[in-house]
Structure 1
Amino acid sequence: MAPHNARGSLNIMFQLAVTIGILAAQLINYGTQYLRPYGWRVSLAMGAVPALLLTFGAIILPDTPNSLVLRGHKEEGRRVLQRVRGTSHVDVEFEDICEAVNVASTIKNPYRTILRRRYWPQLSITMLIPIFQQLTGINAIMFYAPQLFQATGASTNAALMASVVTGCVNVISTIVAIVAVDKLGRKFLFIQGGAQMIACEIAVGILIHFNFMNPGNTSMSAAIVALICIYVAGFAWSWGPLGWLVPSEIQPLETRAAGMGIATLCNFLFTFLIGQIFLTMLCSLKFGTFFLFAGFVLLMTAFVIFCVPETKGVPIEELNEVIMQKHWLWSRIVKDAPKGDNNVVITSTGGKGVV
Structure 2
Amino acid sequence: MNDFLKEFFPTVYHTKHKESNYCKYDNQWLQLFTSSLYLAGFIATFFASYTTRNLGRKPTMLIAGFFFIVGVIFNGAAKNLAMLIVGRIILGCGIGFANQAVPLFLSEIAPTDIRGGLNILFQLNVTIGILFANMINYGTSKIHPWGWRLSLSVAGIPAVLFTLGALFVTETPNSLIERGHLEEGKKVLKKIRGTENVDPEFNEILKASHIAHRVKHPFRNLLLRRNRPQLVIAI
The structure, 1 or 2, with the larger RCO (C-alpha pairs under 8 Å, 6+ apart) is: 1
TM-score (norm 2): 0.49
